Amino acid sequence: MLNSIILSYITFVYFFSFFFYLLMMVMHREIFGRAATVITLVGFAGHTFAIVLRWIESYQMGIGRAPLSNLYESLIFFAWTLILLYLIVEWRTKNRSIGAFIAPLAFLAMAYASYSPGISSGIQPLIPALKSNWLIAHVITCFFGYAAFALAFGLSIMFLLKRLDRPEKKNLFLRIIPETWLLDELSYQMVVIGFLFLTLGILTGSVWAHSAWGAYWQWDPKETWSLITWLVYAALLHSRMVRGWKGKKLAALSIIGFFCVLFTYLGVNYLPGLHSYAQS
Amino acid sequence: MVQNGPESRKRPFSLWSAFSSIRLTLFLLILIAITSIFGTLIPQQESAMRVAENLSPTLVRLLDSLNLFDMYHSWWFRLIIGALAVNLIVCSLDRFPSSLKRFRSSPKTDREKPFENLPPERSFALKQAFEPVSDAVGDLLRSKFRKVERKDKEKAAFFFVEKGRFTHFGVYLVHFSVLLILLGGIAGSLFGFQAFVNIPEGEGVDKVTLRKSRVAKPLPFSVRCDKFTVEFYPNGTPKEYRSDLVFLSNGNVVFEGPLRVNHPITFQGITFYQSTYGTLPGNRVRLSLKREGAGGNTVVEAQVNTPFPLPGQEGEATVTAVRSDFMRLGPAVQLAIKPDKGDEVQMWVFKNHRMVEERFPGIFETFPKLNPASFKPYTFFLESMESRYYTGLQVSRDPGVPLVWAGFVSIIIGLFITFFLSHRMIWVQVSRRDKGVNVAFAGMSSKNEVGLEREMDRLMVQVKNKLDKS
């Protein structure tokens, strides 16, 4: 189908934007950075177009549903929200070095969706449990949360790298990374956004589970892992807001939190549970 | 205990101070996160039984003694959550007075302190008369803020505006919501129930089976399933499960309607959810009879428990039981044959007769009860049997749900207030100078200083524009 062909090309567009962001950092040339931004914008436009096209194609097939209901579509949507949030951050901070850490994540998500043999890109009709408006609210909120946490993760990695920078080192790559206080602040803001969306995602999922299965919380592995993720980020927020933790400790917590996100999203599929339709 | 921070130093160790510690909060949050992982790796409740069979008895005993096969309902897991709840209450009560103080505080309009060490870009001089400038500033502030306080002194006019005083309570709303959700969960487990029931098409039930104890629970009414339908997409995936339900009270139909996935039906406070379905053997079977010596087979449409005469007038036969999967060998029916002379003969007739014989050669000779030819001179064959659906319903009552829903709404409002809104106070000072006036801006914010600076930037630009025009 056309949409998945376009999306498989977008994978490489994001690879090129990663390449150019990297080139900018290594060569210290602004022109590469601008090229990277343009490539990312083009990729994002094509990405958006393909998602809309997929929606239209599902109607042409007589299925007619939002493209948000299986692993393929969720990975595509995750990459989309990640690039969207990143572009906003780039625009607000006027710093492109973050792109070198975020574009590869979007590339990996797209490549996994498009080229993993286990993931079908076909548009399948919805099984009865998924036929609910809560599905859309649940998926959108969860993935905005995941994308914000992914950005916080990238920023935390940058924070840890930047700490290695010394004035006498003259390392161009590290030089271009923003100051640690800015990374710390940005990463915290991303965690805040992610936490609000994750909370919304868990709550909408819970309301949906109540109408589909008759219980708002059943300790299914995916539910439990989303709670684990929520608790880790809650700990991070408390340690910062009340204890005033900053810097390395917070960056470490944010990295642990993102691994919980990854496990909630992908790892749980290897455990038995109710969310089995998110596997293929 | 906590070393830094003045509040912890002035009190000796006590239960209160232990539970008002944010370190305890962090410890408990991480503890719940880590212990929760076990339950996702070790199968819980019903699925635990199947896995336990493959583990060594010692390991099973160890896991079971730690309640790890149902850990989320174990005493120790509840204890940790209870500790977190106490911690949350104590922390909130401990910090509430200081928030209340900040909420009630009334900063003086003519405060000078905020203007000390004011960066130069936060003030500007104008060669205009004092009165019109101070009035213009007042007007502009009034158009932006609900309440503007003004105080005139000999040398200057002072303005004070603020917003978001209530945001000091945002965090308490979040904590309260968490408690509300936990309370809803407790209310649900104390006063509600979770049950299931399977209803064959055309039949009714007036009791359901509780999930935890497997005890039958009578309903104050009865439910009948008139019809169960399952629709499929062309590719074979299920499209819709639907049970046409009828609710009867004292034998009278009170309500009827279709029950679908994601569209539960609540009747007299008890909610029914479409959960599963299956097939049951029906009441009609099709048998074919071969009588030795006679040419050709006789086909009989038999009704369960209704005798039919044998074609050779030797007596009558009755289908006494039907199984959709008998001894894991597929569909089978039980026949009881009452001959006119001699004793009753009972036998099972498999649908997959040949397959059974191939898998177990000689089985029919060894066990006459399984041999379809054990009543001479007949051999019976099971041609087909009618099947019907049963619908599997989740039945529950949860009086805690409204509390949980209220908690959901308020936690989102609370988080939004806590993260994105702040208590901002802005002072503006318009002071007389030798030639003209000086306008200065100072502010304070409970958090998000960057946002405050931006707001003051905007405000200054607006004041300048207004004064330029006049």
Separation between Cα atoms, residue A104 and residue A108, nearest integer Å: 6
Write the DSSP string, A51-79. Answer: HHHHHHHHHHTT----S-SSHHHHHHHHH
| pLDDT (tens digit per residue) in A204-235 | 999 999 999 989 999 989 999 999 999 999 99
Separation between Cα atoms, residue B398 and residue B273, nearest integer Å: 13
165-204 in A: which are within 8 Å (CB) of B? Answer: 192, 195-196, 199-200, 203
Residue to test with chain A: of B7, B22, B26, most A Cβ within 10 A: B26
* Structural domain includes residue B184: no
Which domain range does residue B73 map to? 6-96
Q: Which residues of B5-21 are buried (b: 16+ CB within 10 A; e: fewer)?
A: eeeeeeeeeeeebebbb
Stretch A187-196: mean pLDDT:
95
Q: Answer yes or no: are the C-beta atoms of A161 and A183 closer than 8 Å.
A: no
Separation between Cα atoms, residue A109 and residue A15, nearest integer Å: 11
Q: What's the mean per-residue pLDDT of chain A?
A: 90
All residues of chain A having their beta carbon less than 8 Å from the beta carbon of residue B396 are 214-215
Question: What does each C-alpha distance from B380 to A223, B446, B460 come to in angstroms?
Answer: 54, 88, 99
Same domain, residue pair B307 and B339 = yes
Minimum Cα–Cα distance from B33: chain A residue? A228
* Residue A246 per-residue DSSP state: -
Same domain, residue pair B257 and B399 = yes
Residue B4, class by beta-carbon neighbours within 10 Å (0-12 exposed, 13-18 middle, 19+ buried)?
Answer: exposed
* Structural domain includes residue B175: no
**Nearest partner of A227 among B296, B81, B52, B443, judged by Cα:** B81
**Closest CA–CA distance from residue A39 to any residue of chain B (Å):** 31
Over 60: is that where the pLDDT of B9 sits? no
- CATH code for the domain of B112: 3.30.310.80
Is B239 within 8 Å of A132 when comparing Cβ atoms? no
Of B240, B260, B412, the CB nearest to A200: B412
* Residue B157 per-residue DSSP state: E
Of A128, A200, A206, the CB nearest to B241: A128
> A129 in contact with B at a CB cutoff of 8 Å?
yes
Same domain, residue pair B395 and B246 = yes
Q: Which residue did the predictor score with more confidence, B47 or B232? A: B232
Q: Is cis: bond before B377, omega within 30 of 0?
A: yes
* Residue B38 per-residue DSSP state: H
Of A128, A203, A208, the CB nearest to B240: A128
Is A219 within 8 Å of B72 when comparing Cβ atoms? yes
Angle between helix A71-93 and A2-27 (nearest 10): 40
Separation between Cα atoms, residue B456 and residue B462, nearest integer Å: 10
Same domain, residue pair B254 and B292 = no
| pLDDT (tens digit per residue) in B270-310 | 999 999 888 888 888 999 988 887 777 888 888 888 899 98
Same domain, residue pair B82 and B215 = no
* Structural domain includes residue B214: yes
The percentage of residues in chain A with a pLDDT greater than 70, rounded to a whole number, is 97
Stretch B59-76: mean pLDDT:
85
Q: Read off the pLDDT band of B11 (50, 70, 90).
A: low
Is B273 within 8 Å of A232 when comparing Cβ atoms? no
| pLDDT (tens digit per residue) in B176-205 | 999 999 999 999 999 999 999 999 988 999
Q: Read off the pLDDT band of B470 (50, 70, 90).
A: low
Q: Answer yes or no: are the C-beta atoms of A131 and A277 closer than 8 Å.
A: no
Q: Answer yes or no: are the C-beta atoms of A223 and A205 closer than 8 Å.
A: yes
Minimum Cα–Cα distance from B407: chain A residue? A203
pLDDT for the residue numbered B1: 35
pLDDT for the residue numbered A15: 96
Separation between Cα atoms, residue B461 and residue B465, nearest integer Å: 6
Amino acid at A101: F
> B397 in contact with A at a CB cutoff of 8 Å?
no
> A242 in contact with B at a CB cutoff of 8 Å?
yes
Question: What does each C-alpha distance from A247 to A89, A234, A239, B20, B270 come to in angstroms?
Answer: 20, 17, 11, 25, 52
> A252 in contact with B at a CB cutoff of 8 Å?
no
Separation between Cα atoms, residue B153 and residue B139, nearest integer Å: 18
Write the DSSP string, B44-107. Answer: -HHHHHHHHTTS-HHHHHHHHHTTGGGGGGSHHHHHHHHHHHHHHHHHHHHHHHHHHHHHH---
Q: Answer yes or no: are the C-beta atoms of B39 and A219 closer than 8 Å.
A: yes
All residues of chain A having their beta carbon less than 8 Å from the beta carbon of residue B415 are 195-196, 199
* Structural domain includes residue B252: yes
User: Which residues does residue B83 pair with via DSSP β-bridges, in sequence order?
Assistant: none
The single residue listed with the structure tokens 């009860």 is: B369
* Structural domain includes residue B173: no
Q: What φ, ψ does residue A137 adopt, rounded to 5°?
A: -60, -40
Amino acid at A255: I
| pLDDT (tens digit per residue) in A22-68 | 999 888 888 999 999 999 999 999 999 999 999 999 999 888 888 99
Q: Read off the pLDDT band of B4 (50, 70, 90).
A: very low
> A212 in contact with B at a CB cutoff of 8 Å?
yes
Same domain, residue pair B20 and B92 = yes
Of A214, A228, A231, the CB nearest to B271: A214
Report how far Cα B409 is from the mean position of its chain's Cα atoms.
Answer: 14
Over 80: is that where the pLDDT of A236 sits? yes
Across A38-52, A114-128, A169-183, the highest mean pLDDT is recorded for: A38-52
Same domain, residue pair B268 and B286 = no
All residues of chain B having their beta carbon less than 8 Å from the beta carbon of residue A213 are 273, 275, 394
Of B29, B237, B401, the CB nearest to A235: B29
Over 90: is that where the pLDDT of A267 sits? no
229-248 in B: which are within 8 Å (CB) of A? Answer: 233, 235, 237-241
pTM of the full structure: 0.85
| Sheet strands (E) in B106-192 | 123-126, 149-152, 156-163
Those residues whose C-beta lies under 8 Å from the C-beta of residue A156, and which sit 6 or more positions away, are A183, A187, A250, A251, A252, A254, A255
All residues of chain A having their beta carbon less than 8 Å from the beta carbon of residue B30 are 231-232, 235
Separation between Cα atoms, residue A68 and residue A223, nearest integer Å: 18
409-428 in B: which are within 8 Å (CB) of A? Answer: 411-412, 415-416, 419
Same domain, residue pair B397 and B351 = no
Q: Read off the pLDDT band of A276 (50, 70, 90).
A: low
Q: Answer yes or no: are the C-beta atoms of B237 and B231 closer than 8 Å.
A: no
Is A131 within 8 Å of B261 when comparing Cβ atoms? yes
Over 50: is that where the pLDDT of B6 sits? no
Given 3-state DSSP classes, what are the helix, strand and coil percentages for chain B, each rounded to the nearest 5?
40, 35, 25
> A91 in contact with B at a CB cutoff of 8 Å?
no
**Nearest partner of B270 among B241, B240, B243, B247, judged by Cα:** B247
Same domain, residue pair B262 and B243 = yes
> B39 in contact with A at a CB cutoff of 8 Å?
yes
Q: What's the mean per-residue pLDDT of chain B?
A: 88
Same domain, residue pair B293 and B369 = yes
All residues of chain A having their beta carbon less than 8 Å from the beta carbon of residue B274 are 128
Give the angle B104-B105-B111 at the CA atoms, nearest 5°: 155
**Nearest partner of A116 among A124, A108, A126, judged by Cα:** A108
Given 3-state DSSP classes, what are the helix, strand and coil percentages for chain A, each rounded to the nearest 5?
80, 0, 20
Same domain, residue pair B334 and B403 = no
Same domain, residue pair B383 and B396 = no
- Extract the tokens encoding B219: 């309903």
Separation between Cα atoms, residue B159 and residue B442, nearest integer Å: 10
> A243 in contact with B at a CB cutoff of 8 Å?
yes
Separation between Cα atoms, residue B439 and residue B451, nearest integer Å: 21
pLDDT for the residue numbered A76: 95
Is A211 within 8 Å of B233 when comparing Cβ atoms? no
Residue B215, class by beta-carbon neighbours within 10 Å (0-12 exposed, 13-18 middle, 19+ buried)?
Answer: exposed
Is A228 within 8 Å of B264 when comparing Cβ atoms? no
Q: Read off the pLDDT band of B361 (50, 70, 90).
A: confident
Stretch B399-408: mean pLDDT:
96
Q: Answer yes or no: are the C-beta atoms of A268 and A229 closer than 8 Å.
A: no
> A268 in contact with B at a CB cutoff of 8 Å?
yes
> B3 in contact with A at a CB cutoff of 8 Å?
no
Residue A279, class by beta-carbon neighbours within 10 Å (0-12 exposed, 13-18 middle, 19+ buried)?
Answer: middle
Separation between Cα atoms, residue B325 and residue B307, nearest integer Å: 23
**Closest CA–CA distance from residue B100 to any residue of chain A (Å):** 17
> B319 in contact with A at a CB cutoff of 8 Å?
no
Indicate the number of domains in chain B: 4
The percentage of residues in chain B with a pLDDT greater than 70, rounded to a whole number, is 97
pLDDT for the residue numbered A272: 63
